[in-house]
Amino acid sequence: MLSSLQQMLEHRRLWRARDNHIAGSDTVATGWRHLDAALLNAGWPRAALSEILCAQPELAVRLLQPVLAQCTQRKRLLVWVTMPWLPYAPAWQKLGVNLSRVLVVNAPGKNSLWAVEQALRLARGAVVVSSMDQLDLNRSRRLQLAAQAGESMVFLLRPLSALNEANAASVRLQLETHPLGLKISVHKRRGAYALAPFILKTKKTDTRWPARPILPPEISARSQELALSWPLVSATSESVNVWQ
């Protein structure tokens, strides 16, 4: 009996709580060493839904900056769907984002969920970032399945109040400000237990991070022009050629 149990452990047929690896699960490095160590298989899960809960959008954009830059440099499409802030092109370029691989989609109301789902399925291998105040379990399952079908990644920015909601996200993180950097609470990482909060330290000499990588909609005409110096489409559920 003990011999059979040992064989199961050696071949990873039996998961142990202290394990931080799941065989066959593909990931993308987050760009943060301590965050990679906290997540299963050392990175953001591919073909999956990840959820970031925070009160300040700058925190989520800061956390995602390395993976967004990495994916666009590898020619993967970054789709920015129905966000209340416009990405500021000059700042993103300084962050290493390939602007030619960025698509900004305006899909108001109920069309937002549809646009995210279509981007995940049709823009194969895409990285989708969207903000959603409300998302029930069934809709989150739809997005998880769409991500799997299109081998795409989706990051949803959610309010802190969403923490009490059940959903199908593979990863759920909560971000807060901290004098040394970002305070992260890992509430969910599929296949393992939650983690106690930890701090991602940022270097004081880090000059690559612009103060305003995103802009509110109420900006000057010149800033608007700079913010929208990449393709912008308006999507509705009746739009059949949005992703062509």
Whole-model pTM? 0.77
- Asked whether residue 9 is domain-assigned, the answer is no
Strand partners, 124: none
In this predicted structure, what is the pLDDT of residue 213?
Answer: 53
In this predicted structure, what is the pLDDT of residue 151?
Answer: 95
In this predicted structure, what is the pLDDT of residue 179?
Answer: 84
- Asked whether residue 186 is domain-assigned, the answer is yes
Q: Which pLDDT tens digit goes with each residue over 83-132?
A: 877 777 887 888 889 999 999 888 888 889 999 999 999 889 999 999 99
Q: pLDDT of the chain along its 244 residues, tens only?
A: 555 655 554 544 444 444 444 444 589 999 998 899 999 888 999 999 999 999 887 788 889 989 999 999 999 999 999 887 777 788 788 888 999 999 988 888 888 999 999 999 988 999 999 999 889 999 999 999 999 999 999 999 999 999 988 889 999 999 998 888 889 999 998 767 777 888 888 665 443 444 445 555 554 444 445 444 444 444 444 433 332 2
- How far apart (Å, rounded) are the C-alpha atoms in residues 176 and 85? 19
Give me the CATH number covering residue 68: 3.40.50.300
- Asked whether residue 13 is domain-assigned, the answer is no
Q: In total, how many domains does the chain have?
A: 1
Strand partners, 219: none
How big is the CA angle at 171 (ends 166 and 173), to the nearest 5 degrees?
90
- Asked whether residue 183 is domain-assigned, the answer is yes
Alpha helix positions (H), the chain: 2-10, 33-38, 57-73, 89-94, 111-122, 137-150, 221-227
- Asked whether residue 244 is domain-assigned, the answer is no
- Asked whether residue 14 is domain-assigned, the answer is no
- Considering only CA atoms, which of 151, 148, 149, 156 is closest in space to residue 116? 156
- Asked whether residue 65 is domain-assigned, the answer is yes
In this predicted structure, what is the pLDDT of residue 177?
Answer: 86
**In the β-sheet with 171-178, what is the strand arrangement from edge to edge?**
198-201, 181-189, 171-178, 48-53, 153-158, 127-131, 78-81, 102-106, 232-234
Question: What's phi and psi for 102, nearest 5 deg?
Answer: -115, 135
- Asked whether residue 66 is domain-assigned, the answer is yes
In this predicted structure, what is the pLDDT of residue 109?
Answer: 80
| Residue 187 domain boundaries | 24-234
